Structure 1
Amino acid sequence: MVLFDCAQGGAGGAVATVNVADAAKGDGMSTAKPAGAAGMACAYSLSRHPEKFDCEVWEALPTAGGVATSCVVKSSDGMEFEMNDQVQGGVPSYRNNLLMFEEFGFKSSPLKFRVCFGKGDNAWTNHSPSKLAERLQPEIEKFGKALKWISRFEFIFVFVPINKVLKWWGFSDDFANRMVFPLTALFFGTGNQTPYVSAAIIARVFRDKELALFHYSAERLLHGEPDVFAFENLENIFTTIAKKIPARVFVNRPVASVERGPKVTRVTDKFGRVAEFDDVVFTCSTEVTRDVLKSPSWLERKLLANVRYFDDLIVTHEDHDYMEKEYEMHAADNEDMYFIRTDPEDPSKVEMSFNLSMYQPHLLDAKGARRNLYQTIFLDARGKDRWTIDAIDEKKILKKRWTRQFAHTWTHFAKWVPFVRFIQNTKRTWYAGAVTVANTHEVAVMSGFAVAHRLGAPFPYFHDPLAYSQMKLFMSVTHGTSLPLPKEFKNKHKAS
């Protein structure tokens, strides 16, 4: 899970609305969505055509941004630090996300990704040799061959959990528990479901030509330190977008019900206020959608119930002693970002921490020295009796926050993702958000652009080959439609 990003878009049950001027009829058309990354991307794209669209965004939370929040914490010595909370950054392939933020004047900060897994003799990293990698090197090499087969038959392995693949091909429990599952937890760890993540998704992490997060190494599994980036203050970013686009963005406006009629959809908020729209875009969790959507179709009811959610606890603290006890901290000047802890009694379960100061360069003390602030993520509240949270000095805890996210289990890709296309535009209702595919900020942004494109607001980044290629694939998966490249951009794409 760790997550460069963990965007689910408006998890509080917001709905946004877009009114589109119909040139033929002269009346208004509307759409609805929350103000997370997906909702704001959709609203931004629609708002680029004010002559066609009149857009509203309803967000349950106090600020736009969904799970991409920022906050101020006060340290034990009274210093205050401004930080991004939960969503931190991403990889350079997040082109749609980066391009949208750049349009509003926000740049990302380039970084090198460093991670340490395990502790003691079971510790290994992506940047230096280790005893564990040396001992398991034959299996690491074998895993590389397995990844090739998984990629070749992706249409099959997308429905197979990684733990099954490892058992079928004779990998040891040590390799699975010490290397593969902790690595999987980095991006897909929500709810401690790493053994059940789709094998095909893990293969893409290594082998996707455009979107791979890591380079495979036959010696130590991960090769080198990938380029990543950190976001600027996310609350500032989304507040700025909300102010600058023509759409009307309402915060603190949770939705109570959505009732679809033959011609219009009635949306009622928790305060009893009612508005009517032609189209509705849900960019909240499927749980919220199920709660507020009245009279869903049979297929909507079945599919929305197929997404599984888990409760995780995020603790922001500055207990370095706890970190040294539970994780491998190589030195006082350790520059690792992420740390993964494997439960010694149940190695299939992990906890994860990261050093916020390695992601947020502005976290300096009064003397300009780096101030180590940590976030530890405890996964799946159902297993909280095994959490190490009690080992953190309560006096050094700066903030606690619960989060509820969907898991990337194989069932997510077998019982939900392939079928989302079939409920798009059901009674002029649309579905967006990272939940449509995978929990990243890039997916969330693309999902908003996709719905806007279907409604008549052309995809804004045809000029960028990588942004376009990702969007083209996303549209085919979640909408079952193509995204033809306009003629004026074809020569540029060929040249690239």
Structure 2
Amino acid sequence: MAPTRVAIVGAGASGMSAAYALSRHPEKFSVTVFDEQPVPGGMATSLPIDPARFGASYINDGVQGCSPAFANSLRILRELGFAAEPVQMQISFGLRDDFWSNVFPSDLTARFAKDIARFGTALKVIKALEVPFAFIPVHVMLRIFRFSTDFGDKMVYPLVALFFGTGNQTPYISSAILERVFKDPSMKLFEYDPKSLLASIPTMYAFPNLHDLYAAWQRSVASSRSVTFLLDHKVTRIVSRARSRITLEYTVPQPDDAARTLDHAAFDELIFACDADTARKLLGTHASFIERNVLGSVKYLHDLTITHADADYMRRHYETAFDPSLAAPDAPADALDFASERFRPLYYTYQYPSDRAKLEMSFDLTHYQPQFRGAPPTGPSNSVPSSPHATDPPTHAASAQQAEPPFSKHVFQTIFLDRDGSGSLWTADGIRQEKRVAEKWWKQQSHRWQHYAKVVPWMMWPNGRHHTQFAGAWTVLNMHELAVTSGFAAAYRLGAEYPFRGDEECERLFRLYLGLSHGVRMRKEDRKGFFA
């Protein structure tokens, strides 16, 4: 019996995960992965920088790291011989009187003590009534529970932006999704604290060199000889989608920069591992009614990321160093002692004085990414699996430690959100040109409550119809972990095995995603108990 021919459109996290799962069955599937970029990775890219100037030769761009709860992402790194570096997620929100952090209590946390205490009760109510709260945006939830306007503006909205990178749509995020990042074991990023809102400093994981990781991922998948990568080949349209035959049109690069030519290929199954806008455009008149409506309900915003080394800009807009005058009068001495020596924020937000529901955010990449502390591109690993499908994780050693460069030579990344809705407020002009390293535009999914009314609960209907699967973080929530899981789910629907079968930490989210986005359970032989 001839292998099933599968086309995957997109070589980001979801497309690579689908290809990885399918490649484990070379006798069953013949796979072609298309991507318009010359390298795999999608939003997970790396950029070269001057090591003599910055103390490292690259930065990761677009995707920085993940929560320890993101079991599938961390497992795939280990499978490929890479490792993520644990890092303490210190935050610095606001300036002066509006400053607060999870490192030490400030006047602001003392001022909102009652609101913070009641926020835990609100999370419990939202969890108990998750379905209706899925359609209630955060700004309405704040009014329902009678939180003060300032508490929402100065504490809740910056947190929402941190969780989701929301493109300045923070007031319109689903309340149920906000609750999940505090409570759901597969998605949580922070622990709630009734006194300070955030419980201490959580451990996050910074990714190794993403360019190298995805190149290794491609080599691993291609080693099965059942998967072909057509990178730098852009799918331009679905020519036909009749019964079990799907025909794609795509561009073919030519030597010497000659004009690209068009070619066609036929497949039995199709996986869209790209954004919803692209999938809808490629389907064109072949899109079904449900596909047009679901894909068309995903709202995208345009964000600008400037990577730079402008320390003066950072000092103007953020609290970058410990200042004892910012601490609450009753701040514990041990917290202040720790902060005086080890206040190293990774993540900052700046709210616009004219509209505090809107903000811009920055990362201190020198604090965040391990290569600035001497870690190799593979991360803190001294062992690489010998097999492309090895299951034993590599042994880990502590990263080589080197002194970070002074703050004046740090590399930062500032994200300016929602060009069309907030562009007039941006402070991007304040970043000196000679300090800029790179500029990049992104198309960012919005997590408005409408996404959880018009997209998420309906994904199970187009998925699997017309021999077509949809994968990508946009199907639920913009997280690398969901992108990976969605790719595994698309491959599973086609008959591939779930690669991490038996790993309960990984399977938990996979089962949830399969039920939510595909409306199915794991196959009988893969589950334990009727409700698994």
Q: Aligned pair 1:296/2:287, yes or no?
A: yes
In the other structure, the counterpart of 2:357 is 348
In the other structure, the counterpart of 1:398 is 437
Q: Aligned pair 1:255/2:235, yes or no?
A: yes
Deviation at 1:333, TM superposition (A): 6.7
- Given that 1:76 and 1:395 are in contact with CA atoms closer than 8 Å, whether structure 2 keeps it comes out as no
Deviation at 1:330, TM superposition (A): 2.1
* Separation (CA, whole Å) in 1 of partners of 2:4 and 2:473: 28
Q: How does 1:304-315 map to 2 (within 5 A)?
A: 304-315=295-306
Return 91-100 or 156-165, whichever deviates more. Answer: 91-100
Paired letter, 2:219: K
- Given that 1:75 and 1:398 are in contact with CA atoms closer than 8 Å, whether structure 2 keeps it comes out as no
Which of 129, 136, 140 matches 1:153?
A: 129
Q: Aligned pair 1:316/2:354, yes or no?
A: no
Which of 54, 64, 71 matches 2:40?
A: 64
CA gap 1:92/1:53 in 2 versus in 1, 3 angstroms: same
Deviation at 1:447, TM superposition (A): 0.4
Deviation at 1:169, TM superposition (A): 2.1
Q: How many positions carry a matched residue from both structures? A: 467
SS at match of 2:7: coil
Which of 316, 319, 333 matches 1:328?
A: 319
Q: How does 1:182-261 map to 2 (within 5 A)?
A: 182-245=158-221, 246=224, 247-258=227-238, 259-261=240-242
In the other structure, the counterpart of 1:369 is 404
Q: Aligned pair 1:264/2:245, yes or no?
A: yes
In the other structure, the counterpart of 1:8 is none
Which of 31, 55, 59 matches 1:55?
A: 31
Paired letter, 1:39: G
In the other structure, the counterpart of 1:9 is none
Paired letter, 1:482: R
SS at match of 2:314: helix
Paired letter, 2:269: D
* Separation (CA, whole Å) in 1 of partners of 2:522 and 2:69: 19
Return 182-191 or 315-324, whichever deviates more. Answer: 182-191
Deviation at 1:29, TM superposition (A): 3.2
Cα deviations across residues 75-134 of structure 1 (Å, max 9, x unaligned)?
895977311112011011111111112111111111111111111011001121110000
SS at match of 1:369: coil
* Separation (CA, whole Å) in 2 of partners of 1:320 and 1:78: 13
Which of 444, 450, 466 matches 2:483?
A: 444
* Separation (CA, whole Å) in 1 of partners of 2:76 and 2:167: 30
Q: How does 1:96-135 map to 2 (within 5 A)?
A: 96-135=72-111
Deviation at 1:458, TM superposition (A): 1.1
What are structure 2's unaligned runs of at least 5 residues?
252-260, 323-340, 375-401
Deviation at 1:203, TM superposition (A): 0.8
Deviation at 1:462, TM superposition (A): 1.7
* Separation (CA, whole Å) in 2 of partners of 1:96 and 1:266: 32
In the other structure, the counterpart of 1:5 is none
CA gap 1:222/1:52 in 2 versus in 1, 3 angstroms: same
Paired letter, 1:272: L
- Given that 2:3 and 2:29 are in contact with CA atoms closer than 8 Å, whether structure 1 keeps it comes out as no
Cα deviations across residues 139-193 of structure 1 (Å, max 9, x unaligned)?
1111111111011000110111000011122211100000000110002233200
Paired letter, 2:103: H
CA gap 1:486/1:324 in 2 versus in 1, 3 angstroms: same
- Given that 2:186 and 2:508 are in contact with CA atoms closer than 8 Å, whether structure 1 keeps it comes out as no
TM-score, L = length of structure 2: 0.84
In the other structure, the counterpart of 2:505 is 466
Paired letter, 1:373: V
- Given that 1:76 and 1:396 are in contact with CA atoms closer than 8 Å, whether structure 2 keeps it comes out as no
TM-score, L = length of structure 1: 0.90
SS at match of 2:27: coil
* Separation (CA, whole Å) in 1 of partners of 2:525 and 2:52: 57
* Separation (CA, whole Å) in 2 of partners of 1:168 and 1:109: 40
* Separation (CA, whole Å) in 2 of partners of 1:473 and 1:362: 35
CA gap 1:78/1:130 in 2 versus in 1, 3 angstroms: closer
SS at match of 1:385: helix
Deviation at 1:240, TM superposition (A): 1.1
CA gap 1:144/1:278 in 2 versus in 1, 3 angstroms: same
Q: How does 1:35-54 map to 2 (within 5 A)?
A: 35-54=11-30
Deviation at 1:207, TM superposition (A): 1.7
Cα deviations across residues 226-269 of structure 1 (Å, max 9, x unaligned)?
11111111111111111221311121111111121233111111
CA gap 1:232/1:485 in 2 versus in 1, 3 angstroms: farther
